[in-house]
Structure 1
Amino acid sequence: MSQEEGAVIGINLGNTYGSIACINQHGRADVIANENGERQIATRISFNGDQVYTGNEATPQLVRNSANTIDGFVNLVGRKYSELLPEELSRKSAKVIDVNDTPSFKVEIDGKETTLSAHDVLVRFIGVLHGAAKDFLSGVPIIGSVLSVPIWWSDAQIQALESAASDAGLRVLQVIPVPASTLVAYGLTQPGPKGEHPSHPDGEQGKPYAPEKTLDRNVVVVDFGGSSFDVTVVASRAGLYSVLSYVHDKSIGGRTLDDVLVEYFAKEFTKKTKVTIRAEDARAWAKLRNEAEITKRSLSASNSAQCSVESLAEGLDFSGSVNRTRFNLLAGRVYQQAAQNVTEAIKQAKLDACQIDEVVLAGGSARLPGLIDQLSFLFAEDSDTHITESIDSDQVVARGNAIYAHTIVSIPKEAEERKFIESLSNARQQNTDQLTMPTTVRPIGLVLDAPQGAERERVEKQIVDNQLFVPVIAANTPVPARRAFRLPVAQGAASSLVRIAEATPEVRVETIQPEPLDEEDEDDEPLEPEEVKSAYYKPDSQRLIELVVPTSGAKSVTVELVVLSGGQVTVQAKVDENTEAAATAKLGA
């Protein structure tokens, strides 16, 4: 199939909300609205007599028809009932039942008791998303789709997802991890027309990457979804990405933030009315939860938000408000735990926060300013760590999937790249075996004598033993790898020495003592010393290669460094614009 034969879509199938995206007439990815104008569609289905409610229309049914309303089913697909945790079985909607060790639901449809497996429900819901896409595209055939899944999903779950999509009439081109979708959405994996790498974290806008970070960066992808919090640390090396660490936390998510708002508004209701909402009053709690979620979403865009519920309890109405400052205090524990997960993921990647160049946000709750503020505290102001958030975090995954699907069908059928992509299995182990490449373990770079004057002040924190290490090929770079750089030649120099070595990444910690307090002001509390961290490299004393390059009369030397998968290192130097090598050295067989 080719792009001309029809359209392709990207689907973000979250456990709480789903969304669909396609490429518009301007070549950009857009999230599709359903017939009700909703771009975020609740992962929920409800049955009431002969009526079937899906998406956000099913949400009110949680209040008056919870036993026949099914949600939270996506993460159950492809798993056994005996594998499920107690918190996955606990819910305010239709109960999860065991049918031959398959998670299922018993509901009443048109007056008849019916048992639906999680697979059956997912087929129905994917059909809803597929139908919304077909309506939006006005008859243009949908020839394929790309779906995303969390990294923690098993091969059995991925296979079950593919099966459900097929049963819903949807052709799956590829199933990719959520962090990959996020990076694709920002174009961070897409080279420019001349093969150049993206120079801006937010597409073509915003502050560009520092020159030394265009090729090699350490990126953290934060996915704050409705039912979990996931952190992936990724090494970006000249457009190739590899996962360094992954942390999955099921104990916090968007619903945890709903919980703190529900508790807050319940107390406010009691203060105003002297009526306590009874624990067994399921309708009241469901009403309050639905409105609290709306309030939370509003707080992502405004400084305050209302929460109004008619006849909340004992016939009494409730109307309250909360500002962003109060909400951040209420959600403080959740934000702190989220930050701890990010810190843990960075630690597992054997990095420090000062060695992270970019944080990319995904998931509906990731756009809350309180979380962004909490994450920014992890990184020093002078570290230049960029928090990338210009795309709505609840749209980024679907948009990335649409771009990926469009890329696949844009490749000519006969091209080797297309054949390779189509040959890839979505089974994690097979996919990993095909896509995993050997990488460098340590950074390889150039050892220079420390500069003097103003230039020395700029790199003072990177100088070790009066030497400056400039990384050329970073650690975790897939090999074979090639890098080239140009050095100026000192006037009148008959030769130049090029020193290539491996290095050890280090973190320098400086303690800055606070200024002494004014003795006359007794109310001031003493300030704590401040720790400032900075990343640098300590080069090995033993060089890999030392190359003497004849440079008489030359203005510059271009050095090419090549590392092969067997560990061989080759250095070649050319003078000025000459095409012939002036000097060459090789390490290894």
Structure 2
Amino acid sequence: MSVTFGIYIGCSSCCIAVNKDGKFEVVANAAGDRVTPAVVAFHDVEVVTGISAKQGIIRHGTNTVQNVLRVVGTVEDEGMCPSNSSCPPNWENGQARYSVQRGEKMVQVSAEEVLTHIFSLLKEIASAHTSEPELPLVIAVPAWSSEGTIMAVKKAAKKATFTVLATVSQPAAAVLAYALTDDNKRNMQVVVLHCGGTTVVGSVVEVAGGLVTVKESITSSTVAGDSLTSVLVQHFAKEFYTKYKGDPLENRRSRRKLYNAAENCKHVLSTMGTAQVYVESLWEGVDFSTTLSRARFDGIVTATLTAFLQSAKEAVQRCGLTENQIQKVILTGGSAKIPRLQQLVGDAFPQAEFLCSVPPDEVLAAGASTEAALLVLGSENSECVFSRGTPTHSRQSLNLALPSPIPTSCSVVIYEAEEATKQPQEESILVQVDVTSLTSDSKLLKADFHLKSDGSLHVALQEPEAKINRTFIIEAGRS
């Protein structure tokens, strides 16, 4: 089987998974981390991406770009980028750009170019896991992404030499990661709560007959992972002032140091009972050291975590459902690793099975790699509709993945043979149907087959995105 890749790209981080032999694995970057900061820093003669760029924000903040996904593909400032950014975007000719110092010159860098640097880093990680020149990729994008954002993301990935098969929204990717589409006999309602660094997205996904439908998505920028960090910053600043009568928030450098320490503390307490916090020379040469327990952390952030649930509850209400009608709950995003949040979600949806075997910040990349494997598998293999000995008056349905990249037309060949083959003999072909007017959003052809008692085969082909609905009959004795 071909090796395929899935990437989740968000505002604050990104993640890549490889799919081999039908199994996914989230792979680590050079630093050994499986989640990479979506941060790019421009220096005099080099561009630094990922963890190194994030670590250098204190010294190189005005040349360091964060949250690029918020603005890429937009034509004007929509108030989506945090106002406290040290390197804010500006819009020129309908495109977001950043002013960065490179040597003695101030240069303009497009948001798309920044995004390409992030994909280039991910491409280096991917190349270490295959010897093939092509890197088939599906990208999981946030549910709030506009068409402009999605187009820009795909373009940046292609510039980094990925072969982009498709994009998939984050709620659908979460469902694919847990293989919920494998059960085509049972309908289920699934809540996907994404807790990212800058947004919280609550979605309701219906899985019916193996098909995924995102029924509703509610995005909130009011609370997110950054909100939790900010609450901790205020807590530590107050503690510092009590001890030393100084305000570490009075200048940008001290504020950034404390923010980094609070963010690290938050991640440590996701898995440990206590966290040690130490910041060297936080304010006027004074060091700051403290210890925070998980119980104390829960008390500090519970009100904020409770607000995380509002988007999911609103999405459920808009679908005309109640919390007790939700069968599955999936959490995604780095903040979703917090035990207290998981407890609150479990209490909010008491009848639902909580799916947590995949780390929340790796779920979306895993689901995207699963989608990539399905698309490649579908484009390379034939499907057996009716085997020898099948009685007449039988029915069968298949979902046929389209070749990639998505063509404007394709052919469906129905043939009789002892074994499946990519190149059937001409005399064994019953019919070849040309399907035209496919769009870039097309993914699957649904084929329904009805073998009637008179030996005739009735076939219906459907593709909803291009509004294709074709039926035809292969008479008995045709072969």
TM range (shorter): 0.7 to 0.9
Question: Residue 155 of structure 2 is aligned with which of 154, 159, 163?
Answer: 163
Query: What is the match of residue 122 of structure 2?
Result: 129
Deviation of the 1:297 alpha carbon? 0.7
Query: What is the match of residue 271 of structure 1?
Result: 242
1:250 aligns with 2:245: no
1:197-216 matches, cutoff 5 A? 197=183, 215-216=186-187
CA separation in 1, counterparts of 2:158 and 2:403? 22
Question: Residue 312 of structure 1 is aligned with which of 269, 275, 282?
Answer: 282
1:10 aligns with 2:1: no
Question: Residue 55 of structure 1 is aligned with which of 31, 50, 54?
Answer: 50
1:514-553 matches, cutoff 5 A? none
Question: Residue 402 of structure 2 is aligned with which of 412, 415, 419?
Answer: 419
CA separation in 2, counterparts of 1:412 and 1:100? 40
Deviation of the 1:363 alpha carbon? 0.8
CA separation in 1, counterparts of 2:364 and 2:192? 12
CA separation in 2, counterparts of 1:436 and 1:266? 58
Q: Does the 8 Å contact 1:235/1:244 carry over to 2?
A: yes
Deviation of the 1:317 alpha carbon? 0.6
Question: Residue 109 of structure 1 is aligned with which of 102, 105, 108?
Answer: 102
Q: Does the 8 Å contact 2:24/2:366 carry over to 1?
A: yes
Query: What is the match of residue 399 of structure 1?
Result: 366
Q: Does the 8 Å contact 1:71/1:93 carry over to 2?
A: no
Query: What is the match of residue 112 of structure 2?
Result: 119
Q: Does the 8 Å contact 1:308/1:320 carry over to 2?
A: yes
Question: Residue 284 of structure 1 is aligned with which of 254, 268, 285?
Answer: 254
Q: Does the 8 Å contact 1:9/1:142 carry over to 2?
A: no
1:370 aligns with 2:340: yes
Q: Which is greater in Rg?
A: 1
Name the amino acid aligned to 2:85: K
RCO greater where, 1 or 2, for CA within 8 Å and sep 6 or more? 2
1:140-539 matches, cutoff 5 A? 140-189=132-181, 191=182, 197=183, 215-279=186-250, 281-380=251-350, 383=351, 385-413=352-380, 415=382, 417-419=400-402, 423=406
CA separation in 2, counterparts of 1:39 and 1:221? 21
CA separation in 1, counterparts of 2:45 and 2:404? 44
Q: Does the 8 Å contact 2:240/2:246 carry over to 1?
A: yes
Once the two structures are superposed, residues 532-565 of structure 1 have per-residue CA deviations (whole angstroms, 9 ceiling, x without a partner) of xxxxxxxxxxxxxxxxxxxxxxxxxxxxxxxxx9
Query: What is the match of residue 418 of structure 2?
Result: none
CA separation in 2, counterparts of 1:287 and 1:411? 50
Q: Does the 8 Å contact 2:379/2:404 carry over to 1?
A: no
Q: Does the 8 Å contact 2:406/2:439 carry over to 1?
A: no
Name the amino acid aligned to 1:178: Q
CA separation in 2, counterparts of 1:102 and 1:41? 26
Q: Does the 8 Å contact 1:23/1:30 carry over to 2?
A: yes
DSSP 3-state at the match of 1:221: strand
Deviation of the 1:234 alpha carbon? 1.4
CA separation in 1, counterparts of 2:256 and 2:304? 22
Q: Which stretches of structure 1, 4 residues or more, deviate above 4 A after TM superposition?
A: 429-437
Q: 1:414 to 1:217 in 2, by over 3 A?
A: closer
Name the amino acid aligned to 1:143: L
CA separation in 2, counterparts of 1:112 and 1:138? 40
Once the two structures are superposed, residues 456-495 of structure 1 have per-residue CA deviations (whole angstroms, 9 ceiling, x without a partner) of xxxxxxxxxxxxxxxxxxxxxxx99xxxxxxxxxxxxxxx
CA separation in 1, counterparts of 2:120 and 2:440? 27
Q: 1:185 to 1:274 in 2, by over 3 A?
A: same
Q: 1:436 to 1:299 in 2, by over 3 A?
A: farther
DSSP 3-state at the match of 1:333: helix
Q: Does the 8 Å contact 2:49/2:117 carry over to 1?
A: no
Name the amino acid aligned to 1:378: A
Q: 1:276 to 1:389 in 2, by over 3 A?
A: same
Query: What is the match of residue 423 of structure 2?
Result: none
Once the two structures are superposed, residues 274-308 of structure 1 have per-residue CA deviations (whole angstroms, 9 ceiling, x without a partner) of 211243x1111111111211111111101221221
Deviation of the 1:138 alpha carbon? 6.1
- Number of residue pairs aligned between Structure 1 and Structure 2: 406
Question: Residue 25 of structure 2 is aligned with which of 27, 30, 43?
Answer: 30
DSSP 3-state at the match of 2:33: coil
Deviation of the 1:422 alpha carbon? 5.0
Deviation of the 1:156 alpha carbon? 1.6
CA separation in 2, counterparts of 1:294 and 1:216? 41
DSSP 3-state at the match of 1:398: helix
Name the amino acid aligned to 1:320: T
Name the amino acid aligned to 1:40: V
Which ranges in structure 1 are unaligned for 5 or more consecutive residues?
A: 192-196, 199-213, 438-478, 481-564, 566-589
DSSP 3-state at the match of 1:116: strand
DSSP 3-state at the match of 1:20: strand
Normalised TM-score (structure 2): 0.79
Deviation of the 1:143 alpha carbon? 2.9
Name the amino acid aligned to 2:94: D
Query: What is the match of residue 64 of structure 2?
Result: 69
Deviation of the 1:92 alpha carbon? 3.2
Query: What is the match of residue 392 of structure 2?
Result: none
Which ranges in structure 2 are unaligned for 5 or more consecutive residues?
A: 384-399, 409-437, 449-461, 463-479
Q: Does the 8 Å contact 1:107/1:115 carry over to 2?
A: yes
CA separation in 2, counterparts of 1:283 and 1:424? 52
Q: Does the 8 Å contact 1:413/1:419 carry over to 2?
A: no
CA separation in 1, counterparts of 2:201 and 2:31? 30
CA separation in 1, counterparts of 2:101 and 2:279? 28
Q: 1:432 to 1:46 in 2, by over 3 A?
A: closer
Q: 1:155 to 1:430 in 2, by over 3 A?
A: farther
Q: 1:235 to 1:161 in 2, by over 3 A?
A: same
CA separation in 1, counterparts of 2:46 and 2:403? 45
DSSP 3-state at the match of 1:15: coil
Query: What is the match of residue 455 of structure 2?
Result: none
Name the amino acid aligned to 1:324: R
Once the two structures are superposed, residues 65-113 of structure 1 have per-residue CA deviations (whole angstroms, 9 ceiling, x without a partner) of 111111110221110124x21x515133312122223211111123332
Greater mean deviation of Cα atoms: 255-264 or 406-415: 406-415
Q: 1:391 to 1:89 in 2, by over 3 A?
A: closer
Query: What is the match of residue 43 of structure 1?
Result: 38
Deviation of the 1:424 alpha carbon? 7.6
